[in-house]
Structure 1
Amino acid sequence: MANNNVSDHSVMQIKDEDKDDHVIAENDGNMATLTEDRNDVELIVSSIQRKLPQNPPSTSRSCIFRIPNVLRRHNEKAFVPNLVSIGPFQHGKKNLKVMQEFKLWYLHCLLDRKPTSETSLEYLVEAIKSMEQDCRDCYGEKIHMSSENFVEMMVVDGCFIVELFRKQAKEVPINDDDPVFNTSWMRSALTKDLFLLENQLPWKVVDCLFHHTKEKDKPESEALLLLALKFFEVFAFNQDPHADRPLETKHLLDGIRNSLLASYPQAEIDSYWEPIPSVTELLQAGVEFKLRSDTWDNMLDITFENGVMEIPPIDIEENAESLFRNLIAYESGNSSIHCCNITSYAAILDNLINTSTDADFLIQKEIIHTLLSKEDIACLFNRLYSDTVVGYFCYVELTKNVNAYYQDRWHRWQTILRRDYFSNPWSIFSLSAALLILGFTFLQTLYSLLTYY
């Protein structure tokens, strides 16, 4: 029995030792796993820390940015250049490389003309190089280009724009072989490309190159902004250009917007507003539409008073949708813009134009000037500001007054009377005759009753 007890004790001791060894091995394995996990965590942390930017992705000076997909999907072609790339976002695209040769040729023409002693390639590069970081900060994302390539792009693209505006204004001669001014389709395509939001240069670049290449021994040429606005005038809704607005110009598209807002009176703005009925519905409620024929300088100044809506004329060209969409995208994406004037205007026209009948009425009133069909006009405005939130609406008072007038039933009854009974002399005669007959019948009945009693 003793031996059996000793044997059993030995066996139990061996089992305990095996168990301890297993626990130690298991702990060692857990420690190894923990160490391995900790190393993996440290690697991931190190990887993330290397990617963390020291500065914000965009600054308050960012004014050139990519169009978000939620807006781009409605009409991709409205935001993409077809002929020329300006700036880094479209730089190097295969379908735009042909125009790169013309940009370099424009730069050669400018340098060869040598309008000033400062007009040398070295001087221009040095001037743009000194503002490189400020130019990079104007873009809404980090530009992954070397300093050499970035400055070269700024100089070539900027000089092309300056020379183009001067040729349009006939301040410099136009070469007989220049396809921009001797090819019918190229001017329209080029103008559209130059106002695209993703196809912009910081204004300071263009302005710097303009002043360093302006002839000083000749009479003062027109200001750069006025040259630019005159270049875009026909395509910017044919509104008279305003270059005297006391606002800092950030790029060409911003300059066009500032010009359109030039004389627009500051009105009540709010983030909440109610849509107004269409042209057809308002006509049924007695609203009268009038053309403000006294002005072509402010299409935004729509008024409503005593049942009369006055709308300034607007010219809708083929590129109008592209310009509208880029202005709306610029207003919605730029945090420094609080009053969404262009977006508000698009919202008003979208409310007014539901069908081709609405569009045709405004065309017949000469409020809208266009070569497009009434169906195209209706389609344009019906989907113009889809997926855009109007931060601060600029026609709050107008929409309140229009809706109040529309909801008053007396105005609708007046309209029915005028339309059905006073629209022509025969209707008036028929109504008068009916009233007379009714009056005589009443008198006859009254006389009979009085005679009876």
Structure 2
Amino acid sequence: MARNENMASMNETPSRSITIPEQSSKEKLFENIKEAEERLAQPQSQSSKPKIQRVPDMLRDHRKFEKYYEPRAVAIGPFHHNKARCQLAEKFKPALAAKFIKESGRQAEDLHKVIEDNISTLKDCYNEEATRSYTDEVLTDLLFLDGCSTLQFIYSFMHHELASFKIKRDQVAFAKQDLFLLENQLPYQVLELLMQKSDKQADLKTVIDDFVRETADKRTRPLGGTSINMEEPPAHLLELLRTEMLGPPDRHKKKKHKDRRQSFRNIQELKAAGIHLKPSKRSTLRDISFTSLGFVGFLSLPPISVNDSMGPKFLNLVAYEMCPDFQNDFGVTSYICFLDSLIDHADDVKQLRKAGVLRNFLGSDEEVAKLFNEIGTDLVPNSETYLSVYGQLEVHCKTKWKTKLTVWMAQFYHDHFRSPWAIMALLGALAVLGLTGIQTWYTIHPPSTA
């Protein structure tokens, strides 16, 4: 009996449950705070690149611009793969890839393997959401095909050879825009790996830089010039475009201005204060400056072309700058906000056109003004970017003792010094006035004949 009782006791033991006290909500809160503190204390890698990810929701809330973030012709990468409207482009990808492989001097297996061997690193270039539904094998195939076809598309576009693939002009135009959408990016490392295996590596790198430079509307720099200057390889083509458009950062210490309240509202008010517009010598977005010459001032702005591609280009650059893991100076966002502060009406756009700062391929000046007013909505610029320029403009506009003189002299300058003929007419009028005065003097006071 005792043995049976002991056996029964042993059999009962496993059925007993040990109660572990649950972690309280307060303890979870404190644990999360501690983990966050430890993450912040970890040194950040200077070479880390932001992930390729979705456009931030706060930008997608603007329904008018949602179309600017979606590819219209070609889907590149995992986010929009198999998108219905991009199926036509899928038919061209194999032909483009075949051409690239043939001219690379390598076998398809060799190029595929270099992507396969680096798939873990390449996968890490994307936000987890982008690759969650893809196996490594499928993702390798996707990046291989998109990488080869993208490189060949760029090369053929710059050499005017896309007609041989029977790709229509409208498809080419839309595809060119699609290559610079945030959600449509390939890791630049994919392009590098494929270029390094190609016999045309140097040529491919040159045409990429030229392709980006042309997209950036660099009218003042010839194609085939120096490479785009970057301290380290870009994350993707969109970052390369941003670097080219912004130019090198201004490392000179800017003079601080205490009063940053903006008293002027648009270009018309600057014009009334004797401020004239002129194109800056370079076409980088950071190249904005102001020079005051007493009664007149000159605001230099980088030349810009406004066409159908401007909206998608600038809005995707803004979206990239707003990515939470991208530490940057909001250079493009600040430029758009600065230009938006100058443009209220069609007359402001007209003044930019007359000064040679803006070329309007969009339509009416009203459309351009509306576009800038819309894309500048709810953007948060870097207050330090154009601090010096804002300060100088304010000093010029708000100097009370010369306000009336400035307006009068500016109008005088505008009316009488627009052309050599106007200057000659003014000098002639002054000469006639002077001779008339002398004649009047001698008529009233004839010389003595003693």
Q: TM-score, normalised by structure 2?
A: 0.73
Contact 1:341 1:394 survives alignment (8 Å)? yes
Query: Please, which of 46, 53, 75 is the counterpart of residue 65 of structure 1?
Result: 53
What is aligned with 2:330?
Answer: 340
1:285 aligned onto 2:278: no
**Distance of 1:65 and 1:244 partners within structure 2:** 24
The secondary structure found in structure 1 opposite 2:203 is coil
What is aligned with 1:11?
Answer: none
Contact 1:203 1:252 survives alignment (8 Å)? yes
Query: Please, which of 286, 289, 301 is the counterpart of residue 303 of structure 1?
Result: 289
Query: Please, which of 185, 203, 213 is the counterpart of residue 222 of structure 1?
Result: 203
What is aligned with 1:104?
Answer: 94
**Distance of 1:304 and 1:400 partners within structure 2:** 10
Q: Which amino acid aligns with 1:323?
A: K
The secondary structure found in structure 2 opposite 1:288 is strand
What is aligned with 2:13?
Answer: none
The secondary structure found in structure 2 opposite 1:85 is coil
What is aligned with 2:229?
Answer: 245
| RMSD of Structure 2 on Structure 1 (CA) | 3.5
What is aligned with 2:404?
Answer: 413
Contact 2:52 2:126 survives alignment (8 Å)? yes
Query: Please, which of 147, 152, 165 is the counterpart of residue 158 of structure 1?
Result: 147
What is aligned with 1:46?
Answer: none
Contact 2:51 2:127 survives alignment (8 Å)? yes
The secondary structure found in structure 2 opposite 1:253 is helix
The secondary structure found in structure 2 opposite 1:301 is coil
**Distance of 2:161 and 2:299 partners within structure 1:** 46
Indicate how the Cα distance of structure 1 residues 420 and 213 shifts in structure 2: closer, same or farther if over 3 A, else same: closer
Q: Which amino acid aligns with 2:104?
A: P
In structure 1, the gaps of 5 or more residues are 1-34, 43-55, 437-453
Contact 2:116 2:140 survives alignment (8 Å)? yes
Cα drift, residue 84 of structure 1: 0.4
**Distance of 2:412 and 2:143 partners within structure 1:** 69
Q: Which amino acid aligns with 1:158?
A: G
Range that drifts further, 151-160 or 123-132 = 123-132
What is aligned with 1:125?
Answer: 112
Cα drift, residue 62 of structure 1: 3.0
**Distance of 2:402 and 2:345 partners within structure 1:** 23
Kindly name which structure, 1 or 2, has the bigger radius of gyration based on alpha carbons.
1
Indicate how the Cα distance of structure 1 residues 327 and 139 shifts in structure 2: closer, same or farther if over 3 A, else same: same
The secondary structure found in structure 2 opposite 1:383 is helix
Query: Please, which of 365, 372, 383 is the counterpart of residue 381 of structure 1?
Result: 372
Q: Which amino acid aligns with 1:229?
A: D
What is aligned with 1:32?
Answer: none
Question: Between the two proteins, what is the percent identity of the paired residues?
Answer: 24
What is aligned with 1:8?
Answer: none
Q: Which amino acid aligns with 1:358?
A: D
**Distance of 1:135 and 1:354 partners within structure 2:** 45
**Distance of 1:71 and 1:362 partners within structure 2:** 28
The secondary structure found in structure 1 opposite 2:359 is strand
**Distance of 1:420 and 1:238 partners within structure 2:** 34
Residues paired across the two proteins, number: 370
Contact 1:90 1:199 survives alignment (8 Å)? yes
What is aligned with 1:184?
Answer: 169
Indicate how the Cα distance of structure 1 residues 176 and 360 shifts in structure 2: closer, same or farther if over 3 A, else same: closer
Cα drift, residue 315 of structure 1: 1.9
**Distance of 2:345 and 2:140 partners within structure 1:** 50
1:79 aligned onto 2:69: yes
Q: TM-score, normalised by structure 1?
A: 0.73
Cα drift, residue 204 of structure 1: 0.5
**Distance of 2:174 and 2:394 partners within structure 1:** 41
